[in-house]
């Protein structure tokens, strides 16, 4: 948990994808997040967290469904959404918090 809190407190936006290996929509999101990573390059961090392996963190953050995307800026949650979004929608949202 210490490493997670270090990552989310950075100055650049951190997009956290809470997913599960058995989740169909989560699999749809994989190539979308790869595109987002290619577009955003060093402007943002993308972190994937498996809810089954990190149940305590998922519970603490009240993640009830997957995929859940959360954007952090300097340790604070600035945006949260469940479900699959387009590459453009995610990039646009990250750019709001640069």
- Among candidate residues 23, 46, 47, 57, the one labeled active-site is 23
Residue 68 annotated to the active site: no
Cis peptide before 67 (omega within 30 of 0): yes
80 - beta bridge partners?
70
Q: Which of the residues 15, 26, 32, 36 is marked catalytic?
A: 26
| 88 included as an active-site residue | no
C-alpha angle with apex 7: 24 to 87, nearest 5 degrees?
40
CB-count burial class (<10 Å; 0-12, 13-18, 19+) for 69:
buried
Q: Which residues are catalytic?
A: 23, 26
């Amino acid at each position: 948990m210490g490493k997670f809190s270090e990552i989310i407190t950075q100055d650049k936006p951190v997009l956290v994808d809470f997913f599960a290996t058995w989740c169909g929509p989560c699999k749809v999101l994989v190539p979308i997040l790869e595109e987002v990573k290619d577009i955003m390059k060093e402007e943002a961090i993308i972190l994937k967290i498996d809810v089954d392996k990190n149940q305590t963190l998922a519970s603490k953050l009240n993640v009830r469904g997957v995929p859940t995307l959360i954007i952090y800026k300097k340790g604070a949650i600035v945006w949260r959404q469940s479900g699959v979004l387009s590459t453009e929608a995610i990039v646009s949202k990250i750019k709001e918090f640069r």
